[in-house]
Chains A and B, each alone.
Chain A
Amino acid sequence: MSSTLSGTMGGAMSVTAAVQVRDLGKTFTLHNQGGAELAVLHGVSLEVRRGECVALDGPSGAGKSTLLKCIYGNYRTTQGSLIVGEGENAIDLATASARQQMAMRRTTVGYVSQFLRAIPRVSALDIVAEPLMEDANGDPDKLVAARRAAETLLLRLRIPVRLWSVPPATFSGGEQQRINIARGLIRPRPVLLLDEPTASLDADNRITVTAMINEAREQGAAIIGIFHDQRVRDSVATRVVNMADFK
């Protein structure tokens, strides 16, 4: 199966779809639990084009987050292929080298996880600005611009200025989530993965984030997300995919 798929990498499909999941399987083997096998994903096929926002639906434990993590390369796939990016930049995560995966994360795929992983002693502003600062290669003008962009996002997401210089480890759940969103969106990328980005947000911030997601999509991002909140899902999703359909 995967051999025929790799043949499509330079083909017509890869030009239009930013993410192509083909017959994806993910099984966890728990070696320390007597080798128990947990088949979480099986036969998942999905294509997402730029300008689309696909909402993953399905009950808790259906494997929605697992799928996003596979597309981000955080989890390794056990079966099938997972082509991310377009044209020359397209890589199959099932076979890509670590270096290709790192490049993919830098240039192609943004991921807003459910929980923020704070870095000790790094301020909220710098955590948000980091993806742009990495691109700056030490250029002082670009570093300033990166901070500016981070400030603009933090303002829009109503993070009080007094918190900008504070490491977010002590922030509230909603504040941490907004830091995570800002970090995920600061650098426009062709693919955006969102795992319940509004779960702990108040109404005003939920509306802001919804608007930001739509802006990203209109600017050409291919978005795959998990949105438990019906209102958010209705206002951002162009398509809903139910995990149950794959089984």
Chain B
Amino acid sequence: MNADVSRAPDSSDSGYNFAYLDERTKRMIRRAILKAVAIPGYQVPFGSREMPLPYGWGTGGIQVTASIIGRDDVLKVIDQGADDTVNAVNIRRFFTRTTGIATTERTVEATVIQTRHRIPETPLQDHQIIVYQVPIPEPLAKLEPREAETKMMHGLAEYGLMHVKLYEDIARYGHISTTYDYPVMVDGRYLMAPSPIPKFDNPKMHMNPALQLFGAGREKRIYAVPPYTKVESLAFDDHPFEVQRWEQHCALCGAKDSFLDEVITDNDGGRMFICSDTDYCGQRRENLAAVPANVAEAKSA
């Protein structure tokens, strides 16, 4: 972690403001967030600040979180569904040092969840805010490099090009092969990149009670999905949207309905599938511990 940040354990006398950003910057970002909430799915430009972290670490999400977080908030940070990866640990530590607020690994306890690559399996509540770290906010970027043109396409809701991409998938692989950052229409108006979450998580965005905020630091864009907003994954009538499914259950908790990671267990090609959401998996195991029969069943599966 950056040495400057580690010297700022408490905001009062550290030389840093609460949550690192100065109040003017936060107000500027909050204005962008308000605009984003007012126009669901629309990418609002904002004056992205240099953060004491490299861009790949999710500086867009961090700036959003820093702008909305208050002293009473409880923060959860996940990366690939886990609270204990280097990235998640560092971001959590960053906020602990610059705000002194409480953190948690429990989805249900958090008021603000910053995430990269996943939406928690535990359904979010209407008092929660989820902040996504976004590397490439423009869903059309790979198809249409001219920014003026993609802006025009958003302005006029000309989104045929996105289906060209899905058409290509089917022509090439027989099915829509896009599995991450799968494009969605927000509130029937704006095409949006949901950030590199698996398409498995797309249905969770739809009519979600929580406020969903997206921050792209390098690309200087903020966008949002307000609570209870329609989020539809694009597809063809004869190739409907489908989420990933697994033959296996989670080897640890037996879950059949969660996103599973494949883990190599030894050098002989041994492998198993476990929940990518560590909190979800842990909670299930805790609950199941009270019912030993089920645990035995899950382990034998």
> Do A and B contact each other directly (Cβ–Cβ < 8 Å)?
no
